[in-house]
A and B are shown apart, each in its own frame.
Chain A
Amino acid sequence: MDKRKLLFGALILIGLSFLLMFPWFSGSYYSHILILVYLNVVLAVGYRLLYATGLGSFCHATFYALGGYASAILGQKVGLPYVLCFVAAGIVPAIFALVIGWPSMRVKGPYFFLTTFAFFMVMDSVFRHWTRLTNGSRGIINIPGIAPIGTMRPYYYLAMALMAVTILVMYRLDRARFGTELLAIGDDEELASSVGINVTANRLLAFSIGAMFAGFAGSVYASYISFISPASFSLLSTIFVLVWVVIGGPRKLWGPIAGAVVMTLVAELLRMSGTLQAILYAIVLLIAILVIPRGFVGLVDDLRARFGKGEEPTLGAGLEADASGM
């Protein structure tokens, strides 16, 4: 095991321990920010799955909302134990993703953006007007979860655990054939079909899995805050996720993670208002597209190339042919 990997592993371990101990020595303000970071990472890596195939949706926040509402309604109105609420929070958006995804994927990128935007608008309206179910704009209060309302520490660990599991699953998917297929589709749809890749099926799966994890995150969020309303999931919410993925770089898993972490920390630590955040995101997105179109990931790849190291294999590394066997 070479020194670099050892050092890297040690850093990860230290970072992990730090994060695990965090709520014990820090105030609730910073722990709250980290909870948001963890949930946003889940959103970002979920969004990235479909985005890597060249389709950007406009309804990721809707899946977040669907999960939150499903969890809240089943918990607060029906009284189911949280575990069931959590699971339902993943299933509901996943099903919606399949249902609206299937017809939407027959159209090209920009039109997919529009159909998912339409879905967002419809669901926003449903959340606001189906008051019997959702309490409309007033929202649902006193949402139960894994701990009494108002506690933070259990939710800190729940969010962290969700993020860890999500990253693990995404990592395995990346290294498997599925991950390489997604990248291939993003590179050239036609060529991918010509080698037997079912483009629509792969995209639907990616869309669904991303929606599922967004739903889980929504459930944690709803129970943590103990409150949910349509105002939490605005037009901008999905755009924020899009920006995390774009500035991070969708080609590798760590890109959207870095994007989500950096942007969430900046916005929260600087205590930016909604308007200021919108401006920040707009500027950041413009700069990213002009200067670092492939995101942080692209930046690192360019630096690597500048300093003479070869390109690291991207996805599907689990299938890598042994160079010495050639």
Chain B
Amino acid sequence: MPILETSNLTKRFGGLEALKDIGLSIEEGEIIGIIGPNGAGKSTFFNVISGFMKPTTGRVVFDGNDITGKSAARICASGLVRTFQGTKLFMSLPTVENIQIACHVPARTNLLGDIFGTPGTRRRERDARKRVSDVVKLAGLESVVRELPKNLPHGYQRSLGVAIGLAANPKLLCLDEPVTGMNAEETQLMIAMIEQLRREGVTILLVEHSMRTVMGVCDRVVVLNFGRQIAAGTPEEIQCNEEVIQAYLGSSDEVFT
């Protein structure tokens, strides 16, 4: 059973069709890339599947459950987690707390437990501590746990962004342009992290501009243009696809860098 399946996914903003009839299917353990020129609808797609926008029509089924139109927090709790473009972090919390806050994604807050420190709360905190330390190690942030995000170098901030997503215990992690704006070294680290995540059983969906990253790390690639899906296949197949090449040449994007 695919871990994520969308059918006829459409999103309209007034007269603008940002997504039209998107249907894709992702198996567990895959790394899927979503590419396309600017304005193709990649971020809209992410927003719709992760609950930040409601689709106009269509369905999203995650892990066997229909999550169409559910709230972002609910979808996150069921295992579909997305990260954001650029640096979106909790600026007033130290690095480690940025990760902690994403950690136990409880169905309900146990307020009285929090005030009085009941055993259930304490156990949750112990499990959370273990997960936090695992995520910190994976993201390579051990040396900066006490720092505020504003004091971190850019590469670390981006890693923290991914770490926050990781801490939320995803079955499917949707990374929105994780390496955009990174130098070669930072990009390599991110790719290594992504591959490590696959080894740990996390399915990954990737939106990226950098073709080199996408071709290097993805099992399959889906290409969007003007809200429509114009191609899907292995990186090699996509690279030779006429329509894809046309779509990119028609825009001012740098393609096969």
Contacts and interface: CB of A to CB of B under 8 A. Distances in A.
B145 interface: yes
Contact of A181 (B92, B101, B116, B165): B101
A318 interface: yes
B124 to A, nearest CB: 8
A195 B94 contact: no
A2 interface: no
B191 interface: no
B72 interface: yes
Contacts of B89: 188, 191
> Of B90, B91, B125, which is in contact with the most chain A CB atoms at under 10 Å from its CB?
B90
Contacts of B146: 310-311, 313, 323
A323 B145 contact: yes
A172 interface: yes
A195 to B, nearest CB: 4
A77 interface: no
A316 B114 CA distance: 11
A56 B233 CA distance: 51
B217 interface: no
B77 interface: yes
Nearest to B71: A193
Contacts of A323: 145-146
Given A193-B72, A326-B142, A326-B145, A180 B97 contact: yes
B88 A191 contact: yes
> Of A186, A202, A321, A323, which is in contact with the most chain B CB atoms at under 10 Å from its CB?
A321
A197 B101 CA distance: 9
Interface in B187-209: none
Given A194-B76, A319-B128, A173 B90 contact: no
Interface string A9-39: 0000000000000000000000000000000
Interface string A171-198: 0110011101101101110111111111
Contacts of A191: 84, 88-90, 164
A205 B136 CA distance: 31
A325 B133 contact: yes
A176 B117 CA distance: 9
Given A178-B111, A194-B82, A311-B146, A187 B50 contact: no
Contacts of A180: 93, 97, 100-101
B97 A199 contact: no
A313 B146 CA distance: 8
Contact of B92 (A172, A201, A314, A325): A314
A60 interface: no
Given A172-B115, A181-B109, A183-B90, A190 B100 contact: no
Contact of A194 (B50, B132, B133): B50
Given A187-B92, A311-B94, A326 B102 contact: no
Contacts of A198: 71, 73, 109
> Of B83, B84, B109, which is in contact with the most chain A CB atoms at under 10 Å from its CB?
B109
Contact of A195 (B105, B116, B129): B105
B167 interface: yes
A311 B168 contact: no
B127 to A, nearest CB: 11
Contact of A190 (B88, B109, B133, B165): B88
A194 B93 contact: no
B81 interface: yes
A48 interface: no
B148 interface: yes
A194 B128 CA distance: 18
Contacts of B77: 196
Nearest to A209: B111
A294 to B, nearest CB: 9
A321 B92 contact: no
A325 B133 CA distance: 8
Contacts of B117: 172
B100 A199 contact: no
A316 B97 contact: yes
Contacts of A251: 92
B52 interface: yes
B96 A321 contact: yes
B69 to A, nearest CB: 15
A187 B137 CA distance: 25
B52 A319 contact: no
Nearest to B167: A195
A5 B104 CA distance: 32
B73 A196 contact: yes
Interface in A275-311: 310-311
19 contacts: A169-B115, A172-B117, A183-B90, A183-B92, A184-B90, A187-B90, A192-B101, A195-B76, A195-B167, A199-B73, A205-B111, A316-B93, A319-B100, A320-B96, A321-B96, A321-B136, A323-B145, A323-B146, A326-B137
Given A190-B88, A313-B97, A314-B97, 17 more contacts: A172-B116, A172-B117, A177-B101, A178-B109, A183-B92, A187-B91, A188-B89, A188-B91, A194-B83, A196-B168, A314-B93, A316-B101, A319-B125, A321-B100, A321-B133, A323-B146, A326-B142
A-B complex: 5 closest residue pairs judged by Cβ atoms: A176-B114, A196-B105, A195-B102, A196-B76, A193-B72
